[in-house]
């Protein structure tokens, strides 16, 4: 969900591809309309449901588009999103070339392109267009959305290109020739499905996809992985891995270590536990001794670099360790060697491996740091070097150039536009590209504050206001609180997540914007997540309430004039906050949300998240889930804060029925509801910047209307 159902990303090494289509009649039949009068809204493309959606959309459009500043906000948001002065991120380093997907006003769906690495590092890239996604979609009569490409290393001559129709997680896969810059005639091709693929060699793939009845898990992922040889039909592929129906998924992946290609299998038993297998040279898969709760983050010198989500003997959770792949392949006993252990205030965020270095982006009280680690071949010990970057900033570790031992990072803050840096193994970082200021940062201040939650836990949050602000002003708090996804402060033109420059618009109005680092995320490592897992979910809600109450206590914002924002898993959060403290909040933004926690595990990919929330069909789990499930806890006779729901009909990750049903119930009980359901876009909502800009303008109009009293 952020960034993380956004998330819909399953822990194992493949991107989550989740179930599409409508809720089946069998599922609907499990619950009667007497029990749930709005059950019919789960029929994603049902005529009655779509008619209701269109009526709600029209009502909200008419109201908010009439706001005097709507069109100027929309135009400004679109200009910011389409500005050609944007970071050309290194999506992949392929030998001596960089590839990037570029989106702007002329290319809303994007151009996949490449540049020589040296020119890119020098800040003077020479781009060659590989695929123009907009032109391809027009030529083929499809609303293609780019889902990435997996190019076979080390030559990078052939790629598996994934394209989604309209932005759903399901996509079409086609083989691409980098030399001819064209799709390969009679090459590897998969029809629209929820597929994962891995190159074994130029003529062999491992494919997890929908092979027909019984081939998918309850979560809607592939249950079977087959080995597919070039020139043969997929129906002739040989099964090499098979999981259980109740698993989340079975998949395969590959990682490079210099010029060596290591191939792995992943059996995701739930969202947080996976059995990892290594494919030997003879094609057999052998189990790896890595704990099923751990995550493999890279390979260096024949060693798998692994992040521990649970303690391993005397090694604390949150540490990085390494195992010898050669020993595993040969069936020899192997023990983990410690690479790095963070302090109690720190958390390992991102990890990249180049030929001789392990790079770590580290959170230190939610402030970004970068480390480069090297291994002493004689002692086997790892030494770390802190790389000097900007203070009080967020550091995103993007990618690494293996043979060059070069890491690419961005550095940014709420008032500091992103800067892309190339960091060598030794010496000072090199500035590749800096974005210009998009607003006058001198008029604002940012501070990190700490609230005290109900159980006395110290909860950090970031606060942005205009300088010299006196007296309470309306505030908007954005939070997430789940799936180990840390919420990091970024430039205000992109805050909150999926809301364009809403944060900037809001503080320019003289209001306060807050990013809350509540439990459930990964800001302080695995323990911070575990503290809000399953039966402990209330801790994340209490943390949000504590931040809001701290704003009131400090005289920053008045009670009842605080808006809250959350999307995906954040929908559970703001939905629970809505029902638990309607006195504290004045407006709620709920994007692509989960709300009906009684039925979530039966809708689309919901079954894959039971390790996070619990199984509502088990009485012992429903006993704690029912205490906060938003849809079940809305009561007649209670006045709730006005709520804005935004989502996509085509979301094949979080079912649109969640937002629809809570919107219907709130309206039925006499509460104010705003609603915007986009008909394309998938879980990320916007298939292009046009929709993102409209949503930013609508949310701004909503907040001004409900928290500032404008336009009422």
Q: Is the dihedral of CA 405, 408, 412, 417 positive or negative?
A: positive
Residues with a catalytic annotation lie at 568, 683
Find the range with the poorest average confidence among 54-58, 105-109, 540-544, 596-600: 105-109
Q: For residue 512, what are the CA distances in angstroms to 53, 281, 437, 567? A: 32, 58, 20, 20
Cα atoms in the 13 Å half-sphere on the side-chain side of 405? 13
Phi and psi based region of residue 711 (left: phi greater than 0; alpha: psi -120 to 50; beta: remaining): left
Q: What pLDDT score was predicted for residue 21?
A: 33
Looking at residue 19, its pLDDT comes to 29
Mean pLDDT of 385-412: 94
Q: How confident is the model at residue 9 (pLDDT cuts 50, 70, 90)?
A: very low
For the cut 90, the answer to whether the pLDDT of residue 134 exceeds it is: yes
How confident is the model at residue 231, as a pLDDT? 96
**Whole-angstrom Cα distance, residue 303 to residue 470?**
56
Q: Count helices and strands (H / E) in the chain.
A: 15, 37
What mean pLDDT is reported for the chain?
93
Q: How confident is the model at residue 167 (pLDDT cuts 50, 70, 90)?
A: confident
* pLDDT, greater one: 96 or 4: 96
Instruction: Quote the pLDDT of residue 22.
Output: 35
How far apart are alpha carbons 458 and 677 in whole angstroms?
A: 37
Whether the pLDDT of residue 711 is over 50: the answer is: yes
Q: What pLDDT is stored for residue 689 in this prediction?
A: 83
The CA-atom distances, in angstroms, between 631 and each of 110, 480, 542 are: 38, 18, 19
Q: Does residue 10 sit in helix, strand or coil?
A: coil
Q: What is the pLDDT of residue 24?
A: 41
Q: Domain extents for the chain?
A: 25-64+444-707
- Taken as a whole, the chain contains a residue count of 712
Q: What is the DSSP letter of 314?
A: T
User: For residue 204, is pLDDT > 70?
Assistant: yes
Between CA 703 and CA 395 the distance in angstroms is: 30
pLDDT at 30: 62
Specify whether the CB–CB gap between 543 and 459 falls below 8 A: yes
**What integer pLDDT is reported at residue 684 of this predicted model?**
65
The confidence score (pLDDT) of residue 18 equals 29
Q: Which residues pair with 146 in a beta bridge?
A: 163
Give residue 687's pLDDT band: very low, low, confident or very high (50, 70, 90). low
Dist CA 653 CA 16 (whole Å)? 9
Q: What is the pLDDT of residue 3?
A: 37
Q: Residue 551 has which token pair?
A: 């704003």
Using pLDDT thresholds of 50, 70 and 90, give the confidence band for residue 425: very high
Token pair of 608 as six digits = 């894959």
- Residue-wise pLDDT for 643-653, tens only, equals 999 999 988 88
State whether residue 394 is helix, strand or coil: strand
Binned at pLDDT 50, 70 and 90, residue 8 comes out as very low
For the chain, what percent of residues have pLDDT higher than 90?
87
Per CATH, which fold does 25-64+444-707 belong to? Answer: Rossmann fold (3.40.50)
Mean pLDDT on 227-234: 97
Secondary structure of 399-442 in HEC code, one letter for each residue: EEECCCCEEEEEEECCCCCCEEEEECCCCCCEEEEECCCCCCHH
Q: What is the pLDDT of residue 2?
A: 37
pLDDT digits (tens, 9 = 90+) for 594-613: 999 999 999 998 999 999 99
pLDDT value for 16: 33
Judged against a pLDDT cut of 80, whether residue 199 lies above it is answered with yes
Q: What percent of the chain is modeled with pLDDT above 70?
A: 95
pLDDT in tens, 291-323: 999 999 999 999 999 999 999 999 999 999 999
How do residues 314-354 score in pLDDT, each as one tens digit? 999 999 999 999 999 999 999 999 999 999 999 999 999 99
Distance CA 315, CA 36 (A): 49
- 711 or 468, greater pLDDT: 468
The predicted-structure confidence for 58-103, as pLDDT tens digits, reads as follows: 999 999 999 999 999 999 999 999 888 889 999 999 999 999 999 9
Interval 144-159: pLDDT, tens:
999 999 999 999 999 9
The answer to whether the CB of 446 falls within 8 A of the CB of 532 is: no
At 482-533, the pLDDT tens digits run 999 999 999 999 999 889 999 999 999 999 999 999 999 999 999 999 999 9
Cα torsion angle, 423, 424, 428, 432, sign? negative
- Using pLDDT thresholds of 50, 70 and 90, give the confidence band for residue 35: confident
- What's the whole-number mean pLDDT along residues 675-684? 81
Which pairs from 137-141 meet CB under 8 Å and 24+ separation?
Answer: 137/109
Residue with more model confidence, 163 or 681: 163
């Amino acid at each position: 969900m952020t960034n993380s159902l956004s998330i819909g990303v399953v822990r194992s090494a493949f991107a989550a591809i989740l179930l599409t289509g409508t809720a089946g009649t069998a599922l609907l039949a499990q619950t009667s309309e007497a029990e749930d009068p709005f059950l019919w809204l789960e029929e994603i493309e049902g005529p009655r449901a779509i008619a209701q959606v269109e009526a709600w959309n029209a009502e909200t459009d008419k109201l908010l588009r009439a706001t005097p500043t709507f069109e100027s906000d929309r135009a400004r948001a679109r200009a910011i999103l389409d500005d050609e002065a944007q970071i050309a991120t290194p999506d992949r380093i392929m030998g001596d070339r960089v590839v990037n997907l570029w989106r702007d006003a002329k290319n809303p769906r994007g151009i996949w392109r490449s540049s020589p690495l040296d020119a890119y590092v020098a800040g003077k890239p020479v781009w060659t267009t590989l695929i123009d996604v907009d032109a391809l979609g027009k030529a083929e009569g499809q609303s293609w959305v780019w889902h990435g490409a997996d190019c076979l290393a080390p030559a990078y001559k052939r790629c598996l290109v994934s394209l989604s129709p309209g932005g759903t997680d399901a996509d079409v896969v086609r083989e691409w020739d980098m030399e001819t810059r064209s799709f390969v005639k009679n090459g590897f091709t998969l029809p629209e499905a929820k597929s994962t693929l891995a190159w074994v060699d130029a003529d062999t793939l491992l494919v997890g996809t929908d092979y027909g009845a019984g081939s998918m898990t309850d979560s809607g992922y592939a249950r079977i992985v087959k080995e597919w040889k070039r020139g043969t039909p997929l129906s002739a592929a040989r099964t090499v891995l098979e999981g259980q129906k109740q698993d989340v998924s079975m998949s395969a992946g590959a990682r490079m270590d210099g010029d060596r290609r290591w191939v792995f299998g992943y059996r995701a038993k739930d969202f947080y536990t996976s059995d990892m297998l290594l494919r030997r040279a003879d094609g057999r898969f052998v189990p790896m001794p890595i704990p099923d709760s751990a995550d493999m983050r890279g390979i260096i010198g024949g060693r798998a670099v692994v992040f521990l989500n649970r303690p391993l003997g005397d090694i604390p959770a949150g540490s990085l360790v390494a195992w010898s792949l050669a020993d595993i392949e040969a069936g020899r006993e192997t023990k983990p060697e410690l690479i790095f252990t963070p302090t109690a205030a720190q958390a390992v965020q991102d990890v990249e491996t180049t030929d001789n270095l392990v790079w770590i982006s580290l959170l230190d009280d939610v402030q970004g740091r970068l480390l480069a680690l090297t291994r002493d071949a004689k002692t086997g010990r790892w030494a770390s070097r802190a790389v000097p970057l900007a203070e009080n900033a967020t550091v995103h570790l993007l990618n690494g150039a293996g043979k060059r031992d070069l890491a690419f990072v961005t550095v940014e803050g709420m008032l500091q536009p992103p800067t892309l840096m190339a960091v060598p193994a030794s010496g000072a970082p090199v500035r590749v590209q800096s974005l210009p200021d998009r607003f006058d940062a001198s008029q604002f201040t940012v501070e990190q504050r700490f609230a005290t939650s109900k159980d006395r836990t110290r909860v950090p949050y970031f606060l942005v206001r205009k300088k010299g602000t006196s007296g309470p002003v309306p505030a908007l708090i954005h939070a997430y609180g789940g799936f180990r996804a840390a919420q990091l402060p970024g430039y205000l033109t992109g805050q909150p997540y999926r809301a364009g420059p809403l944060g900037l618009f809001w503080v320019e109005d003289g209001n306060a914007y807050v990013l809350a680092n509540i439990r459930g995320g990964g800001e302080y490592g695995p323990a911070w997540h575990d503290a809000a897992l399953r039966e402990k979910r209330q801790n994340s809600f209490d943390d949000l309430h504590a931040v809001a109450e701290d704003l009131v206590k400090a005289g920053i914002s008045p009670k009842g004039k605080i808006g809250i924002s959350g999307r995906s898993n954040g929908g559970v959060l703001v939905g629970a906050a809505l029902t638990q403290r309607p006195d504290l909040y004045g407006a709620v933004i709920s994007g692509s949300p989960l709300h009906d926690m009684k039925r979530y595990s039966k809708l689309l990919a919901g079954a894959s998240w039971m390790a996070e929330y619990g199984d509502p069909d088990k009485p012992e789990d429903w006993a704690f889930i029912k205490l906060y499930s938003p849809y079940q806890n809305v009561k007649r006779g209670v006045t709730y804060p006005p709520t804005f729901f935004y989502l996509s009909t085509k979301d094949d990750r979080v079912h649109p029925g969640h937002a629809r049903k809570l919107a219907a119930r709130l309206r039925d009980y006499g509460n104010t509801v705003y609603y915007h359901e986009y008909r394309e876009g998938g879980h990320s909502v916007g298939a292009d910047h046009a929709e993102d800009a409209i949503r930013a303008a609508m949310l701004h109009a909503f907040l001004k209307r409900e928290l500032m009293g404008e336009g009422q």
